[in-house]
Amino acid sequence: MRSSYMLLIYATLFWAGNFTFGKALVEYVPPVTLSLMRWSLSFAVFFPFAWKELKANHRVLRTEWKTLLLLSFTGLATFNSLTYVSVQYTSSINAALMNSFTPVLVAILSFIFLQDRLRYQQWIGILISFAGVTWIITDGNIRHLLTLHFNKGDLIMSVAILSWAIYSLTMKKYGSRLPQKAAFLVTIGIAIVILFPFATWETLVRESWSIPTLHWLSVIYVGVFPSVISFICWNKAVIDVGPSKASTYLHLIVVFASLFGVLFLGEKIVMSQIMGGLFVITGVYLVSMQKMKPLSLNETKRQ
């Protein structure tokens, strides 16, 4: 069991590194092109692990092509590309803090679309988390709400986490129908097809770019560790300890991303990030502390 918790730490550690090394890389390579490079490498690395399951379940995958397309578009192509666009304009620490709001957004959308009931503690948590995200976006100055002066990177990251929330809801509703490894491989392949024309356009309209030799190690990192190894570690640990306990470890992404940002990018942690992050994490804890109760059939009819 102890090894399962270590797997959760590894998974969040590598995911946090994606914010840091992604920010470093977008100085040299366009963001959509970086996303395409990442998933192309991931496909090559993951293919040997999923090939047998892919062959055994090709009929199921063809039947569920709409679900796979939505999962790929929202969770892989859009989320990751927008994350890389976002860190061009905001710090990796801010991006990670914004990302920590995702569980709350998933809870809200589950309430709206999946008829999951939220208890009053969870509504309080949602309000607290909204306050935290607002504090981060406005850099601790609420007057920015009146002047509409926001950090563009934070707003782009907000769209990214909405995309991930849609991915999470889709996976929650339809994921049980899919063979896990094969579906992940297929969604990577679809993401590559989606990203290719945008990356081509990006290359045509942007001046020539090149990646310094040492930074290719960062490309390998984002293509292997957060994309493949974190996925394997996370799923193995969730099977052992359960999703409820595992989800609490997602908060470590903020901690690790903050440390990486300070150590590798020279970023500084400011008070607005500390305060906003505390609000977000507190809100997420309140949302996660009790399971959402589905509406009964009779309650559904009354609405």
Please tell me the predicted confidence (pLDDT) of residue 185.
Answer: 95
Please write the tens of the pLDDT for every residue from 289-299.
655 444 443 43
Please tell me the predicted confidence (pLDDT) of residue 60.
Answer: 93
* CB-CB contact of 170 with 74 (8 Å): yes
Please write the tens of the pLDDT for every residue from 104-133.
787 788 778 877 776 778 778 778 877 887
Give percent above pLDDT 90 in the chain: 36
Distance CA 57, CA 51 (A): 10
Distance CA 287, CA 298 (A): 25
Please tell me the predicted confidence (pLDDT) of residue 295.
Answer: 41
Please tell me the predicted confidence (pLDDT) of residue 245.
Answer: 62
The interaxial angle of helices 230-241 and 2-25, nearest 10 deg, is 150
Please tell me the predicted confidence (pLDDT) of residue 220.
Answer: 95
Look at the chain and count its residues. Answer: 303
Residues whose CB falls within 8 Å of the CB of residue 128, separated by 6 or more in sequence, listed in order: 279, 280, 282, 283, 286
Residues whose CB falls within 8 Å of the CB of residue 48, separated by 6 or more in sequence, listed in order: none
In the structure encoding, which two tokens stand for residue 145, read together?
């709400």
Please tell me the predicted confidence (pLDDT) of residue 287.
Answer: 64
- Distances, alpha carbon 32 to alpha carbons 36, 76, 80, 158, in Å: 6, 11, 8, 17
* CB-CB contact of 97 with 272 (8 Å): no
Distance CA 172, CA 113 (A): 12
Distance CA 262, CA 20 (A): 10
pTM across the whole model: 0.80
Distance CA 23, CA 92 (A): 7
Distance CA 259, CA 237 (A): 24
Q: Which residues of the chain have pLDDT under 50?
A: 292-303
Please tell me the predicted confidence (pLDDT) of residue 303.
Answer: 33
Distance CA 86, CA 157 (A): 6
Place of tokens 């395409």: 36
The interaxial angle of helices 271-288 and 102-113, nearest 10 deg, is 40
* CB-CB contact of 121 with 286 (8 Å): yes
